Amino acid sequence: MALRLDFLRDVLGVEGAKALSKAVDREPALGGALELRAIIGWVSCLDAHEGSIPGTSSQLRLSKSDETYSGSVGDYNFTGESVYHVSAAVANALELEPGKLDKTLRDTVLMRLGKSLDLLIKSQLSKKKTKSKKTAAPNARPVDAAKQQFGVAAKAEALGTGPANPPLPQEAPMAAVPPSVKQPSVKKPKIPSLPLTRSEAAAECPLCGGGFMGGNKFVGCVCFSELAKSIRTTAYSDGYVLDFGVDVDADDVRSLMAALKG
């Protein structure tokens, strides 16, 4: 079956989309399920969105409140719906083919791969946010500042066309995501260190099949390389202890544990 590669490259990154393709090559039954899982992961990471659904000409307008979503996909409008409802509408816009369900597909495999997908999606979204923050830097050229004012640069960013030209009409709707993201002031509790045996550390990523260690250091596969930047490894004779930086999300650590320990 053909994967929606334009969509997957946008939401998972180029390497992430490759990882997903590899997993599907190894186990073709995963195809439709993983794409749908990527859509759900993507929608659940969006607090607000205004722009095309990557790889399609369909527009997605979305705002989230109290865990429900309101907005539209193309000319279909919805109010107060669940992430699954919105994901189904996005799958429809992507013309995802209803595949055959495969009984050999195990829930645990789907769960582990799904967590890796979530991590890739989050790291793509945070890369995009960082890019739009850079655009909003005080030393930005005046023309950029003017574009910011109308939310055009941010909108172009959301459309995947980058902050540069061409200019869009000024009556374009304001971008749903403001360029500056407010940081919660609550201090997060420290995440406990994660001990790994040598054999756990030698595991392969269930999604991309890559290894996690480089010598005696956790470097991560494609899916976990972003997270690896915030991990400090201490090697012992019988294993490793991973310490997580303050910026690491507890959810991401759970994804890593699922990948390492199954």
- Taking the complex as a whole, the smallest distance from the CB of residue 52 to Zn ion amounts, in Å, to 28
Q: Report the length, in residues, of the chain.
A: 262
C-alpha dist (Å) from residue 133 to 61, 154, 169: 22, 9, 22
- Taking the complex as a whole, the smallest distance from the CB of residue 212 to Zn ion amounts, in Å, to 8
The residue among 176 and 223 lying less far from Zn ion, judged by its C-beta, is 223
The residue among 46 and 207 lying less far from Zn ion, judged by its C-beta, is 207
Residue 157: partners with Cβ closer than 8 Å, 6 or more residues away: 128, 131, 132, 135, 163, 175
The residue among 177 and 207 lying less far from Zn ion, judged by its C-beta, is 207
The residue among 41 and 151 lying less far from Zn ion, judged by its C-beta, is 41
Q: Residue 230's CB: how many other CB atoms inside 10 A?
A: 15
Q: Which amino acid is at 88?
A: A
What does the binding site for Zn ion look like in residue numbers (CB under 5 A)? 205, 207-208, 210, 221-223
Tell me whether residue 200 is exposed, middle or buried, using C-beta atoms within 10 angstroms of its C-beta: 0 to 12, 13 to 18, 19 or more.
Answer: middle
In angstroms, the CA 18 to CA 239 distance is 30
- Taking the complex as a whole, the smallest distance from the CB of residue 19 to Zn ion amounts, in Å, to 5
In angstroms, the CA 3 to CA 9 distance is 11
The residue among 50 and 226 lying less far from Zn ion, judged by its C-beta, is 226
- Taking the complex as a whole, the smallest distance from the CB of residue 160 to Zn ion amounts, in Å, to 23
* Contact criterion met (CB below 8 Å) for 158 and 51: yes
The residue among 41 and 163 lying less far from Zn ion, judged by its C-beta, is 41
Angle at 76 between CA 73 and CA 80, to 5 degrees: 85
Residue nearest to Zn ion (CB): 205
Tell me whether residue 50 is exposed, middle or buried, using C-beta atoms within 10 angstroms of its C-beta: 0 to 12, 13 to 18, 19 or more.
Answer: buried
- Taking the complex as a whole, the smallest distance from the CB of residue 101 to Zn ion amounts, in Å, to 25
The residue among 109 and 208 lying less far from Zn ion, judged by its C-beta, is 208
- Taking the complex as a whole, the smallest distance from the CB of residue 16 to Zn ion amounts, in Å, to 8
Q: Residue 2's CB: how many other CB atoms inside 10 A?
A: 6
- Taking the complex as a whole, the smallest distance from the CB of residue 61 to Zn ion amounts, in Å, to 32
